[in-house]
Chain A
Amino acid sequence: MSTSSVLYDHPGPRAKVRNAVLSVIFGVALLGLVYWIYTKFDQANQLEAWLWKPFAEPKTWTQFILPGLWATLKAAGVGMMLSLAFGIIFAVGRLSEHWWISVPAGAVVEFFRAVPLLLMIFFVFYGLPFLIQGPVPAFWAVVIGLTLYNGSVLAEAFRAGIRAVPGGQSEAAYAIGMRKSQVMGIVLIPQAARAMLPIIVSQLVVLLKDTALGYIVAYPELLARGVNDLSANYGNIIAAAIVMAVIYIIINSLLTAFAGWLDRRSARRAFRIPKQAGPVVMDSTAGTAGA
């Protein structure tokens, strides 16, 4: 009840009765809604057993869902590695003392954060082949798009983290004779990364969800294989979409739970990032921009 503590007192006897009555009323309304959805599904014959039966057969999983899931995880894994590297490089670049490094780095980060991911994927997939005179695999179109976009968001997270490391840390490092690159690599980045871990992980959830855009350029990931191809074979598009949504929700919930665990763990060890100032981060830490 911590969420509502600022809005409500602890309920007294009358409030308890009122809440119980409201619970029943809204409970009935909710059941009514569920029943209405049920009848709509039933009218469209979406509840018949044959629509759901394919999910009990191993062939469905080995042929469609697991290869799709593997492709999704592969694109997400490679994308995560590359965007972390991209993020660190451009965060350090933007903090550089040389304007001819910091200004271009800042421009790149601002630009790619503001451009829709789909536009970048289309550019790489349809546009780049004209420039390099050869095809670009859908996998790389997705991964490059994910890297440019999520890398830019991560760069901002790293930059905020590095700037929030207490000033005494880098002063002490310079005082014992470290060079600029050593201060950054040994002192600042490790602390920033630890403090920003929850934000980084929630951005990785966004990245994982965004791999679903691969469906649009025919990359055989979970949405393409598990919903599109599977339902083309069995004609059960609603059932397939629901099952795949559940798979996505499970994976992302695991990642989110992992982020929460890291947050609690680092709360004991690292310093806390103070409230963020400056321009709005394009993606809230909740991971808005996911697709």
Chain B
Amino acid sequence: MHVFTDPKNFDAYLSGFLWILKLTGASAVCALVLGVLLAAMRVSPVPVLRGFGAAWVNIFRNTPLTLVIFFCYFGLFVTLGLTLSDDLFRNIYWLGVVGLSTYTAAFVCEAVRSGINTVPTGQAEAARAIGLSFAQTLRIVVLPQAARAVIAPFGSILIALCKNATIVGTIGLAESSTIMKDLINFNGDAVIPIFLVFAGTFAAVLIPTGYFFGWLANRLAVKR
């Protein structure tokens, strides 16, 4: 463990995970907003919006995230000149957030849509039959049931997003996978401890997160 007792390396380890945390946080919020909007488009009665939502989902769900992130840097920034911050690393960070959010939004959209689909049609029909308005049907009957069905997939998406954040290292952000690579290259005698510390940190955070969302989804599940 001599590698991590060196304060310089320990700081690098911390800063790597701090980037992952920041990427995950900002992208989760953006992807959630964007994904819910896309889902609203996909279930709307307007064909143009449905087509737009479906196209987005099909494009980004089938393109490798590495390519999306690559495009954000070399396409949007280098070629088209989109600059999101004057600071070099802040700029890469925000480009990464753009890539992660556009990609993850496609999965959020599908989760929300399938959540709405789990609500039996009879629920809405019964709501209308007792005289609830459209807004009341959505607010009181359909959305509360859909929201509970969405918890488990949201958990998976959040976990995947956190792991995917490492890919932003490709375009030059010193996040944890890049830091691990550098530490390995400088400390060939401690390869396994380095890997176990980095992988273990992810596992220690993400495995409980998975169980937590599973527990929450079970607890809030609509019993049918």
Contact = CB atoms under 8 A, between A and B. Distances in A.
B44 A44 contact: no
B62 A116 contact: no
Given A110-B203, A283-B160, A288-B156, A7 B64 contact: no
B67 A223 contact: yes
A99 interface: no
Interface in B41-99: 42-49, 52, 58-59, 61-67, 70-71, 74-75, 78-81
A11 B194 contact: no
B45 A209 contact: no
Given A118-B177, A288-B107, A241 B218 contact: no
A216 B66 contact: yes
A49 interface: no
B28 interface: no
A240 to B, nearest CB: 10
Contacts of A291: 64-66, 164, 167
Instruction: Name the residue among B46, B116, B142 with the largest chain A CB count within 10 angstroms.
Output: B46
B117 interface: yes
Interface string B200-224: 0011001100110111011000000
B121 A130 contact: no
Contacts of A282: 156, 159-160, 206, 210
A114 B203 contact: yes
Interface stretch (A77-85, A88-96, A191-199, A249-257): A249-257
Contacts, number: 218
A40 B75 CA distance: 12
A248 B79 contact: no
B58 A7 contact: no
Interface string A108-145: 00110011111110110011101100000000000000
Instruction: Name the residue among A23, A117, A212, A215 with the largest chain B CB count within 10 angstroms.
Output: A212
B79 A238 contact: yes
A212 B67 CA distance: 7
B107 A284 contact: yes
Contacts of B111: 284, 286
Nearest to A123: B195
Nearest to A9: B128
B219 to A, nearest CB: 12
B74 A241 contact: yes
Interface in A162-218: 205, 209-213, 215-216
A278 to B, nearest CB: 6
Given A122-B181, A241-B67, A280-B156, A130 B189 contact: yes
A32 interface: no
Summarize A's interface: helix, strand, loop or mixed.
Answer: helix
Nearest to B106: A286
Nearest to B170: A216
B173 interface: no
Contacts of B110: 286
B70 A227 contact: yes
A210 B74 CA distance: 20
A101 interface: no
A245 B59 contact: yes
Contact of A248 (B62, B124, B203): B62
B192 interface: yes
Contact of A209 (B64, B71, B206): B64
Interface in A1-38: 3-9, 11, 15, 19, 22-23, 26-27, 30
B123 interface: yes
Instruction: Name the residue among A6, A15, A212 with the largest chain B CB count within 10 angstroms.
Output: A6
B184 A127 contact: yes
Interface string B127-152: 01000000000100010000000001
A122 B184 contact: yes
B156 A6 contact: no
B163 interface: yes
Contacts of A119: 166, 176-177, 180, 195, 198-199, 202
A223 to B, nearest CB: 6
B152 A280 contact: yes
B67 A244 contact: yes
Nearest to B20: A116
A226 to B, nearest CB: 10
Given A44-B81, A286-B107, A4 B44 contact: yes
18 contacts: A5-B124, A7-B43, A23-B47, A115-B203, A116-B177, A118-B166, A119-B198, A122-B177, A131-B192, A209-B65, A213-B64, A245-B59, A248-B63, A249-B58, A252-B62, A253-B62, A280-B159, A280-B213
Given A120-B199, A212-B66, 19 more contacts: A40-B80, A46-B80, A111-B203, A119-B176, A119-B177, A126-B181, A127-B184, A127-B192, A131-B192, A212-B64, A215-B70, A223-B67, A249-B63, A279-B211, A279-B213, A280-B159, A280-B214, A283-B160, A288-B107
